[in-house]
Amino acid sequence: MPIFSKPQYSTVTVKKKDIPKDLWTKCPKSGEIIYNKQLKENLMVVPGSGYHFQLGARDRILSLLDSETMVEQDAGIESQDPLEFKATASYPQKVKQYQSKTGEKDTVVSATGTLLGTPVSIAAMDFRFMAASMGSAAGEKITRAIERGLAEGRAVIIVSASGGARMQEGILSLMQMAKTSAALARLGEARLPYISVLTNPTMAGVMASFASLGDVIVAEPEALIGFAGPRVIKETTQQDLPPGFQTSEFLMEHGLVDRIIPRSEMRAQLGLLLKALYRAPATQKVG
């Protein structure tokens, strides 16, 4: 017995620390094991199964814009704690945790640039940051991205992913839905195209505002998209949910999503759509 009382493999433990974590990832769809570096190079899509992992907001924008054209906008915007929200954890603490985890100030990254030559104002949501919940900071950045499109005569692209409005900022989060949608009304009047890109998952308050308002709404394959969460629906209705319920494919079949586009083709296809829909305003110089 004494032989077990003191661990004899302490050196092994030390050695374990030297092995980089997260070297491999298992595909939840096919079970195949994929080298992380390869996964990253493939924009977080599993080559074999086509499973789309979530992609960070910054990587997303870089994957869509013409190289070297990205100019980040409104990078200094951060959440506050207007409700002095206290639940099981304090809200500012939570925000700090996610900031150090992701390196982003909040869930939205926005930029201007060109996409296959078309001048765009683009915003993307990062699901790793508090489930990409929309509070005042996210709402402000999205609204400014739309207003910038309007002011500078750019097409607008918003890549959505979100669990919904951010509870910790209460009613102010709900009002971001109004703010962003009102800006889109003005963009529409100026006949500047807005393409909404839905990624896994896009739900609730984000879906019930700008994400549903694209002139064109495209989705990545097999994303969860909807208003109410599937569990809430099941509990409320006591009904079994139909197969594929609230997936991109289900939504295309039911007439909301225009096209399903795999990530590898997103840039090329958005480029074609913009080429067809975008006309540079006569009075403005853009680029």
Binding footprint of other proteins on the chain (CB under 8 A): 74-80, 82-83, 85-88, 135-137, 139-140, 143, 165-167, 169-179, 181-186, 188-189, 204-205, 207-213, 226-229, 232-233, 236-237, 239, 241-242, 245-246, 251, 254-256
Q: Dig out the tokens for 56 from the structure.
A: 């960070």
Q: Minimum distance between the CB of residue 69 and other proteins, rounded to whole angstroms?
A: 18
Query: Quick check: 157 and 270 in contact, CB under 8 A?
Result: yes
Q: In this complex, which beta carbon is closest to other proteins, that of residue 47 or of residue 229? A: 229
Q: In this complex, which beta carbon is closest to other proteins, that of residue 44 or of residue 251? A: 251
Query: Quick check: 122 and 193 in contact, CB under 8 A?
Result: no
143 class by beta-carbon count within 10 Å (0-12 exposed, 13-18 middle, 19+ buried): buried
Q: In this complex, which beta carbon is closest to other proteins, that of residue 80 or of residue 269? A: 80
Q: Minimum distance between the CB of residue 36 and other proteins, rounded to whole angstroms?
A: 30
Q: Minimum distance between the CB of residue 140 and other proteins, rounded to whole angstroms?
A: 5
Query: Quick check: 36 and 25 in contact, CB under 8 A?
Result: yes
Q: In this complex, which beta carbon is closest to other proteins, that of residue 43 or of residue 140? A: 140
Instruction: Indicate the SS3 state at residue 48.
Output: coil
Instruction: Please identify which residue in the block is written with the tokens 């005569």.
Output: 153
Q: Distance from CA of residue 97 to its chain's centroid?
A: 19
CA–CA separation, 268 vs 279, rounded Å?
A: 18
Q: Minimum distance between the CB of residue 48 and other proteins, rounded to whole angstroms?
A: 31
Q: Minimum distance between the CB of residue 84 and other proteins, rounded to whole angstroms?
A: 8
**For residue 49, what are the CA distances in angstroms to 26, 30, 95, 221?**
11, 6, 34, 12
Q: Minimum distance between the CB of residue 151 and other proteins, rounded to whole angstroms?
A: 14
Q: Minimum distance between the CB of residue 222 and other proteins, rounded to whole angstroms?
A: 16
Q: In this complex, which beta carbon is closest to other proteins, that of residue 140 or of residue 220? A: 140
Q: Which residues pair with 121 in a beta bridge?
A: 112, 156
Query: Quick check: 77 and 140 in contact, CB under 8 A?
Result: yes
Q: In this complex, which beta carbon is closest to other proteins, that of residue 232 or of residue 268? A: 232
Q: In this complex, which beta carbon is closest to other proteins, that of residue 136 or of residue 200? A: 136
**For residue 179, what are the CA distances in angstroms to 147, 212, 216?**
11, 14, 20
Cβ neighbour number for residue 17 with a 10 Å cutoff: 8
